[in-house]
Structure 1
Amino acid sequence: MRPLLAEGADDAFVDAASRALRAGDGGDPLTSLGWWDLLTELADLTARQAALALFRAQGRELADSAALGALMAQPFLDLTGLSPGKLVAAIPRRSARRGERLVVVGDVAGRSLLIDRPGHGADVVAADEVELRTVAVAGRLTIREIDREPPAAVPAVPEDRAAPARARGRFLGRIAAALEILGAAEAGLLLAAEHAAAREQFGRPIGTFQAVRHLLAWALTDLAAVDGVTATAVRLDGDTPPRHDQVVKALAGRNGRRVCQRTLQVLGAIGFTAEHDHHHFHSRVLALDALLGTSTELTHGLGTWVRETRTDPALPAAALLRRWDS
């Protein structure tokens, strides 16, 4: 699927990942990409860009893998002695009725799960030792909620060592989720743009009507904003201000939802049908927005933090200049 935004170095990584995900040769596309090896090299900019480009490709292709949990577990690999691909983090998701729950994304068979308990450390358990319940969602995304955790014991990673690894894992997870939201929303916009060019009313394509063009333009503007903040976060990494990952994830969730709503308006009734792919891209955006803090929760939390601390969460100009100079 061709990108809707301007092409750059990052798009080469996305296109390569998209081709691998589409290959469908029966093997693990992440292995064929060498993605698991990239997890040990995230300090290098090029490796980091390549590793995180996978998530934008997954959104575009509606691919399903354990990559998000594996990426979040990466800071714990040295602490647990496990190799990349063997450890997958359970991801927090807030339920309106039951509070915060832990879910795993993708196929975790044969892997170990990192069950992080903030304030108490992190445990490592085999996936078959926990009770997993499948969450029925569209979007071609496998999500299982942990219904029963093993009883708490001496944590495999004590809290003093788990805390910095947890912060790093959540930073990586939020940036990755934002990129996957971006990819899914891009694909939804492409469907709407193609429909607007082909569907005719009153003897001409509906894409020539001003109202439709405005919807598509607003959607593209929303995507450009997410593209900019995610690219900056990937490049600057640890040089970003405090809570920048929350800013990126909140913006991606809000804009991704907005793009899906506007493109659905362009598609009209056909966009509501089960046969049309738009609802899968829309559902992928909604499912990812629910992980690691929704756009609403993160925005409210950031607002409270800014009000109480008088902290400016904006990126300093010097950091932005380093991004473009490098």
Structure 2
Amino acid sequence: MESPDREFLEAAGAALRGTGPGEDPLEALGWWDLLAEFDDRDARGAALALFRAQGRELADTAALGALIAQPYLAAAGAEPGTLVAVIVRRSARGERLLAVGDVAGRTLLVDRPGQGASVIAAEKTELVPVTVPGRLTLHEVRVDDAALTPAIAEAEAAAVRARAVCLGRIGTSLEILGAAEGTLALAVAYAASREQFGRPIGTFQAVRHLLAWAQTDSVALESVVTTAVALDAAAPQRHDEVVKALAGRNGRRICERAMQVFGGIGFTAEHDHHHFHSRVLALDALLGTSAELTHTLGAWWRESRADPSASARALLAATGS
């Protein structure tokens, strides 16, 4: 029998493919109900499977922001489906607020450490499209600080902030996995059909090695991310950073090896590879890049000598073994 997560992954893929303009695939899937039951292991696994499906299908929704907002719902007095968190992205050019997916008609949550969390209707902000390949809807949210009145006090926001970031990192890691799987499937099919010297290029040892390495990275990432979903709150300290760092690294490597199989055709606008590859790069940039997280984790480990790996007991309890 298939696991509920696997069944929902297939159902989510079908809904994302089959939903017409103006329709919300999250409503069709009953995803908001799953978000309300997030403490249940099966509901949590099914809800998070959506992100893997989004990566595979090159689809997007407001689910990531809704997932990050989930821990704030009780404090904000909001229901699932109404509150969507923006992601704060800091760089040398300053702070930017990013909304992922179509957030029109929703209430945005802006959490700034030390200041508490504010809520504001999307219509009261300026949503500036950020154009990136990958069929990913991104907006920079521009709003006057004077319009942001904390609705959740810092003490309450601080209590759930780490949980919110953790969920966001697991969700983006699953979507990176899905996008990497999508381009790897294309590369395997291309290697079987593209011929040189009278035979498929997939019979050449160099191409087979590229695909094998990519598949190894994909399986390793799947194992780590699905284990993190099962562990949830039982995961060790900073485990979400480990997962997100691995997702960014492995996702990029899978795309780079697929690109070597495709050759020049993978660069063209007509081919889906560059959309999968671009989505991986865009998601890696959210909530900590693989390079940033690897650096901070290394510095933390040198100072603390803490062990970020999950104990055997926690793994057995999470998987029901």
TM-score normalised according to structure 1 size: 0.95
User: What pairs up with 1:241-260 in 2 under 5 angstroms?
Assistant: 241-260=236-255
Corresponding residue to 2:176 among 159, 181, 194 = 181
2:196 equivalent to 1:201: yes
Task: Mark the CA change 1:50 to 1:146 in structure 2 (over 3 Å): closer, same or farther.
Answer: same
Corresponding residue to 1:76 among 54, 65, 72 = 72
* Separation in 1, partners of 2:301, 2:140: 33
2:30 equivalent to 1:53: no
State the partner residue of 1:62.
58
**Contact 1:110-1:127 at 8 Å conserved across structures:** yes
1:55 partner amino acid: F
Secondary structure of the residue that 1:274 maps to in structure 2?
A: coil
State the partner residue of 2:138.
143
* Separation in 2, partners of 1:18, 1:82: 28
1:162 partner amino acid: A
2:240 partner amino acid: D
User: What pairs up with 1:1-326 in 2 under 5 angstroms?
Assistant: 9-26=4-21, 27-95=23-91, 97-151=92-146, 154-326=149-321
**Contact 1:130-1:150 at 8 Å conserved across structures:** no
Task: After TM superposition, give the deviation of residue 276 of structure 1 in Å.
Answer: 0.3
Aligned length: 319
> Which consecutive unaligned segments of at least 5 residues does structure 1 have?
1-6
Runs of 4+ in 1 over 6 A off after TM superposition: none
* Separation in 2, partners of 1:265, 1:100: 36
Task: After TM superposition, give the deviation of residue 132 of structure 1 in Å.
Answer: 2.1
Secondary structure of the residue that 1:146 maps to in structure 2?
A: strand
Give deviations 1:226-258, integer Å, cap 9, x for gaps.
101111111110000011111111100110011
**Contact 1:140-1:280 at 8 Å conserved across structures:** yes
**Contact 2:120-2:148 at 8 Å conserved across structures:** no
Task: After TM superposition, give the deviation of residue 147 of structure 1 in Å.
Answer: 3.0
* Separation in 1, partners of 2:38, 2:289: 26
TM-score normalised according to structure 2 size: 0.96
Cα RMSD, aligned residues only: 1.3
Secondary structure of the residue that 2:151 maps to in structure 1?
A: coil
1:69 partner amino acid: G
* Separation in 2, partners of 1:109, 1:174: 23
* Separation in 1, partners of 2:52, 2:217: 16
Give deviations 1:31-77, integer Å, cap 9, x for gaps.
01000111111100000011000000000001111000001001111
Identity of paired residues, percent? 66
